[in-house]
Structure 1
Amino acid sequence: MNTNQREHIALITGASQGIGLALARKLLSQNWQVITLNRSDFPADDMLIQDALKNGWLRAYKVKDLTDYGSLRRSLKEIKSKEQRIDILFNNAGGGLSELRYSKQGREMHYELLTVVPYIILMELKELLKNGSLKTVINTSSQVLRFTKEFSIENLEHPKTFRKMYGPYATSKLALSLWTQAVAPQLAKEGIKIRSVDPGINNTLRKGKDSGLTAWFELFMKVFSSPPTHGANLLFEGALGKHRNETGVFLLKDRVADLKFTEQVQRVLDRISDIYSREFLDGGVLHG
């Protein structure tokens, strides 16, 4: 494996398509080593990706289901056993659903995937980050969080109603940015910086796959949105650009933006930390 000429290492979740794939390609083209955690395989006809896999510059780890703690635990254990360090962690995996669904742990699926799982991945890979030089975490958030009108832990875990985009998806992205803000001082003591970043509106639609978007927004995206490289560039700048020395902030269009419901940041963090400790680390599954 030839990794001698590639000093920096990034880990990207959800990198087999869309923004994550574009980010992986960008980093590889700039002489980074890239580690990925994906459910799906990379495109077989993407020569940059396939060559990087052969050369060892790109190292792909598979996970059957990020919201299945058994599957996630096995994948993270493999990464920790084979990798020595990570400079930047991009918590990018996600997606929207068109109906209310629940995880194996009994929580709403957007919340589990978009809010809880990124925290678990961060905590599990923290030692590898501490071994790296840049010690940076970028959580992919969304500007749709600005449309959240009500917010509570109870509604995050067991929402009473469902709306595409503006319901559980938006509140889960807000919760992600809130715990990002809350955990920043704790991580700073260990030399780690963390930010949440909106990647903008990107055309990540896939034929035959439910996008979880409203019909009008899906049409808007097809006509007016940017390619996934736009989102990849914003995540890259969020990690290495002018805000690289800031921590806990939410970046919108490469500017620090305010969050709603910041009075609940500690409560969100406490709840997610409790889930991590009691359910993931202890290996138990709680319902309700």
Structure 2
Amino acid sequence: MNTTEHDKVALITGSSHGIGLELTRRLLSEGFQVVALNRSAFPEDDPLIRESLERRRLRVHRADLSDFEGLRRALGAIKASEEKIDVLFNNAGGSVPELTFSRQGRELHFELQTVAPYVIAMELRGLLRNGALKTVVNTSSNAFDMMRRFDPDALERPASFKQLFGPYAASKLALSLWTRELAPLLERDGIRIRSVDPGPNNTLRKGKRSGLPFYVEPLMRFFFPPPSQGASRLYEAAFGASRELSGVYLRKDRARDLPFREHGPRVLEKVRSIHEREFAAG
């Protein structure tokens, strides 16, 4: 896709609903071109989305990000068709109600929310180098504040399952930990990477079973703000006061300390090994 020097290109995963959709709409309205990497389709009744698709300012690639075969095809198509990426938002995610494994045999939250963002960032590193902003924003969570133990070697096949505060929280912590560890390497290319907690948002989807504890769903439905709030926090993480920082975990636009930082090198080693031995070699 030909872009002018002044065009900004954002790639957003999980951009067809919730926080990702609100972020997509905001960036399109500000003149960005958006490359979407989604499992599901965009809503058909959104005028801005429809117009952007027709004008090719919104370009869609479909894949289940937890399935390496489909993800490999989609990333190959992106690398073949795009000249640059200014900012990458690794936003895709979600929670499942019971212990579930990916096609590769790893726990699904870990595959989707820890491994896939690393794979995407590393595979698109060349396009990020070509961009002007050279920024990666990973969507994390404060759910890991409730964790009392963290074992990197249990991420792939946990012995037990707890909704929200089990594998989901562990996968988000692992994401922020490898973000912190990877930052010095990416800075050699001028790329800055951050993880951010989007805060509480009502991202419930009608007809879809969530992985939330029973007492959280009514709170989310009636008291949590709309996903536009989370989108604003991702936007600020990319373009706001912290835009010069790298490796940080942001909550309410401020850098916060991560728990279990001593496990960061081990987490990075795990995702790097999976990428090199399974994805890149596939």
Q: TM-score range by the shorter chain?
A: over 0.9
Alignment partners' CA distance in 2, 1:266 and 1:207? 39
Amino acid at match of 2:188: K
Deviation at 1:208, TM superposition (A): 1.0
- Asked if structure 2 preserves the Cα contact closer than 8 Å seen for 1:199 and 1:235, the reply is yes
Shift of 1:2: 9.0
Q: How many angstroms apart in 2 are the aligned matches of 1:156 and 1:150?
A: 12
Q: Give the gaps of 5 or more residues in structure 2.
A: none
Matches within 5 A, 1:152-171: 152-171=151-170
* Distance change >3 Å, CA 4–CA 127, structure 1 → 2: closer
User: Which whole-Å CA distance do the structure 1 matches of 2:134 and 2:153 have between them?
Assistant: 33
8 Å contact from structure 1 (residues 146, 259) kept in 2: no
Kept after mapping to 2: 8 A contact 1:3/1:56 = no
Classify 1:221/1:80 alpha carbon distance in 2 versus 1 (closer, same or farther; 3 Å).
same
Alignment length (residue pairs): 282
Is 1:79 the counterpart of 2:81? The answer is no
1:21 aligns with 2:21: yes
Q: Residue type of the partner of 2:87?
A: I
Name the structure 2 match of 1:147: 146
Partner of 2:267: 268
Scaled by the length of structure 2, what TM-score is found? 0.98
The residue type paired with residue 75 of structure 2 is: L
User: What per-residue deviation string (whole Å, max 9, x for no partner) do you get for residues 238-261 of structure 1?
Assistant: 000000000000001111111111
Q: What is the aligned-residue identity percentage?
A: 54
Q: Letter of the aligned partner of 1:29 in structure 2? A: S
Q: 1:154: how far off?
A: 2.0
1:55-96 deviation per Cα after TM superposition (whole angstroms, max 9, x unaligned): 111111111x21111111000000000000000000000000
**Aligned equivalent of 1:44:** 44
Gap change, CA 1:47 and 1:282, over 3 Å in 2: same
CA distance in 2: counterparts of 1:49 and 1:120, whole angstroms: 27
For 2:180, the aligned partner's letter is Q
> What is the CA-CA distance between 1:4 and the residue it aligns to?
4.9
Q: TM-score w.r.t. structure 1 length?
A: 0.96
CA shift at 1:3, angstroms?
A: 5.6
Match of 2:233 in 1: 234
1:54 counterpart = 2:59: no
SS at match of 2:10: strand
> Stretches of 4+ moved more than 4 A in 1?
1-6
Is 1:187–2:186 an aligned residue pair?
yes
Change (3 A) 1:6 1:33: farther
What secondary structure, in the 3-state scheme, does the structure 2 residue paired with 1:270 have? helix
Partner of 2:200: 201
Alignment of 1:242-257 (within 5 A): 242-257=241-256
Unaligned runs of 5+ in 1: 284-288
1:215 counterpart SS class: coil
Q: 1:252 to 1:57 in 2, by over 3 A?
A: same
